[in-house]
Amino acid sequence: MDGNRTVLVTGAARGIGRAIATAFAAGGDRVALHYASRRAEAEEALDGLAGSGHVLVQGDISTPEGAAGVVAAAVEALGPLDVLVNNAAVNVAHPLDRTTFEDWQDAWRRTVDVNLLGTAHVTYCAARNMIDHQVRGRIVNVGSRGAFKGEPDHPAYGATKAAMHALGQSLAVSLAPHGITVASVAPGFVATERVADRISAAVEEQSPFGRVAAPEEIAAAVKYLASPEAVWSSGAVLDVNGASYLR
């Protein structure tokens, strides 16, 4: 049942990650709130969580050592993990026709290191912890509509989110014998600080609801996929885009 679980949320200092951490804490879970460099915002997010027993975990998941260290710190503080939410991501603009080859390489390297390899390494360490402690755990990846719709100015972001979806589906099959579920959400535009300058009337009109999502709406979908009732949704990629892109 929900409540009194140990939850690690990566990239939780603000935006979608903070909303996800808030949702789990409100349900009685203890949250390890991960951040890379936004210490002040992470502390603010931690202070806003309901309940007690929550912790901050700092680390750079773009390296294998950093990813392993984040999971180890969360486990040390909270005990064996019940839930992992892979939310940390970078999104660097690099339109091919307006980007130098050097900047193109840098954007791809930075994006792949965090969005794909960071997710893969954090997931490996968290899943092994679940297996070692015989925890029937839940892993939820925050992917993107861009994996399907395309990201012309951010191709590495779209590509790594598509890879994240595929990774989740592969692991859903391999981890099912251990009682561990893996699923993903694929949001469209969400009203967060990161994309505030990109949200226009045209963007809002992509959805027939005439708006973009609130972070709390993505958090609600993540919380469902991490619930005991969602076992049979393991392997799913849940579109959470307000009917702005249908497939």
Two structure tokens written together for 128:
């092994």
Q: Is 245 a catalytic residue?
A: no
Two structure tokens written together for 28:
């009685």
Two structure tokens written together for 168:
């989740």
- The one catalytic residue in 35, 124, 157, 224 is 157
Q: Cite the active site residues.
A: 157
